Structure 1
Amino acid sequence: MIRIVKLTMAPERGADFETLFAERQEAIRHYPGCSHLELWKDRSHAGVYFTYSIWDGPESLDHYRHSPLFAEVWAGIKGWFTGRPEAWSLDDKTPRLQ
């Protein structure tokens, strides 16, 4: 399952967010059920970021979202938002060549 989350925050907090993400990314990437994690920054809108992650399924994502690690990360960034976070859970339907 692919998870994309759009985070809109005060542009002056961007560097702080990038630092926090860099400090926590390995822990999130190695969380049970997570097989991939990336951070993307919008080129046209300061303060807009996207996380792109791949999870074994909704149960793995929910387990992470109720973990102390998620609570710690969320507590560190929630005051920086200027817009409501948006999230999409997707299935990859790209045909694979055998």
Structure 2
Amino acid sequence: MLVRIVKMGFYKQNIEVFLKHFEGYKSRIRGFEGCRLLELYRDKNDPSVFFTYSYWDDEKALQNYRSSEVFKDVWSKTKPLFSIRPEAWSVNKIEFLP
């Protein structure tokens, strides 16, 4: 399983726009083949910073999503809203303690 973490910062005036976009796209992203989990977090100290946290079957599933029309549509609407360059990490889950 691949875990993908993406950090995004938005101009203050774009935060509500981003949240509306996310609301409209979250089911399509989560429903994409190979996506097992999708969560959105907001930084406690900086309300303009958000993180997505998603589980993918493997690198191929993530790459299929990143090559898809869904991703292109999401990214084209999200990218202009950024106040900082987004950062992304792909990590392997080592351990989980429920």
Please list every run of at least 4 consecutive aligned residues from structure 1 whose deviation after the TM superposition is greater than 3 angstroms. Answer: none
Q: How many residues align?
A: 97
TM-score by length of structure 2 reads 0.93
Q: Which runs of 5+ in 1 are unaligned?
A: none
Q: Which runs of 5+ in 2 are unaligned?
A: none
TM-score by length of structure 1 reads 0.93
* Residue correspondence of structure 1 range 1-80 to structure 2 within 5 A: 1-80=2-81
Cα RMSD, aligned residues only: 1.5
- CA shift digits 1:59-85 (9 cap, x unpaired): 100000010000000110111111111
1:95 CA displacement: 5.8
Q: State percent identity of aligned pairs.
A: 38
Shift in CA distance, 73/95, structure 1 to aligned 2, threshold 3 Å:
closer
Distance in 1 (CA, whole Å) between partners of 2:28 and 2:39 is 13
AA aligned opposite 1:61:
L
Alignment correspondent of 2:94: 93
Per mean C-alpha deviation after superposition, the further-off stretch among 40-49 and 87-96 is 87-96
Contact 1:12 1:47 in 2 (8 A): no
